[in-house]
Amino acid sequence: MDEKEKMLAGEIYDANYDEQLMKERLLAKDKCFEYNNIKPSQIEERKELMKKILGKTEKNFLIEQPFICDYGYNIKIGENFYSNHNLVILDANKVEFGDNVFIAPNCGFYTAGHPLDYETRNKGLEYAKPIKVGNNVWIGGNVVVLPGVTIGDNVVIGAGSVVTKDIPSNSVAVGNPCRVIKKI
C-alpha cells in the first residue's frame, strides 16, 4: 500500500516525504492561492476555479475568500453550501457536506491527527479520519471539527465549539468539548 492509500484508509502514513502527496498538496495550495486572489466581485470565475479545486460540488454554492485546503479532491459539498471567510479544511481524508450547510467565519475541519507517542510523531507520521456533515447544518464562528466526526442532519453547532465526537441529528450542540444541550 502506498502512502496515499494508507492516508485514505485512516492508517499511519508519511505525508512529509512522499513525493506524490507533496505534489498534490502544492497543486491544491497553488489553486487556493489563485482563488484567494481573484477579485471578490468575480463570482463566476471564483466558482469555476472552486469546481477545479474540490472533489465534488453542486450547482449553488459560495465560499468566501480566503479558503485553504490540503488536497481539495477529498472535499464534497452539497447544494446550497455557504461558508464565510477563513474556512480551512485539512482534507487528508474525505470531508463531506450535505445540502443547506452554512458555515460562519474562521472555521476548521481537520481530518489529520498525530500519534500520541512522541517518537512516532517526531518521524512526521500522521493519520487521517473522515468528517461528515449532514443536511441543514449551521456551524457558528470559530468552530473546529476534529478527525472522524460525523455531524447529523438539522444541527446547530454554537460558536467557538470544538467538536471532538459525533453530534446526532436534530440537536443544538456547543462548547469545548462540544456537547448536545438541546434537541430540536
Distance CA 32, CA 14 (A): 23
Q: What nine digits make up the cell of 91? A: 482534507
What amino acid positions are annotated as catalytic residues? 114
Contact call for residues 3 and 20 (beta carbons, < 8 A) = yes
87-127: pLDDT as tens digits? 999 999 999 999 999 999 999 999 999 999 999 999 989 99
* Res. 31: pLDDT tops 90: yes
Q: What is the pLDDT of residue 165?
A: 98
Whether pTM exceeds 0.75: yes
Contact call for residues 125 and 139 (beta carbons, < 8 A) = no
Please determine, looking at this structure, whether the domain spanning 3-183 carries the CATH number 3.40.50.880. Answer: no
Contact call for residues 146 and 127 (beta carbons, < 8 A) = no
Q: What are phi and psi of 57, to 5 degrees?
A: -130, 160
Domain boundaries, the chain: 3-183
- Say which DSSP state 64 is in: P
Distances (CA, A) of 140 to 61, 70, 99, 121, 178: 18, 22, 17, 31, 12
* Res. 17: pLDDT tops 90: no
Average pLDDT over residues 129-147: 98
**Residue in the structure block whose three cell numbers are 505534489:** 23
Mean pLDDT, the chain, whole residue set:
97
Contact call for residues 48 and 67 (beta carbons, < 8 A) = no
Average pLDDT over residues 1-16: 94
Identify which has the larger pLDDT, 16 or 45. 45
- Say which DSSP state 18 is in: -
* Res. 65: pLDDT tops 90: yes
The strands making up 178-183's β-sheet, listed across from edge to edge, are 61-63, 81-83, 102-103, 138-139, 156-157, 171-175, 178-183
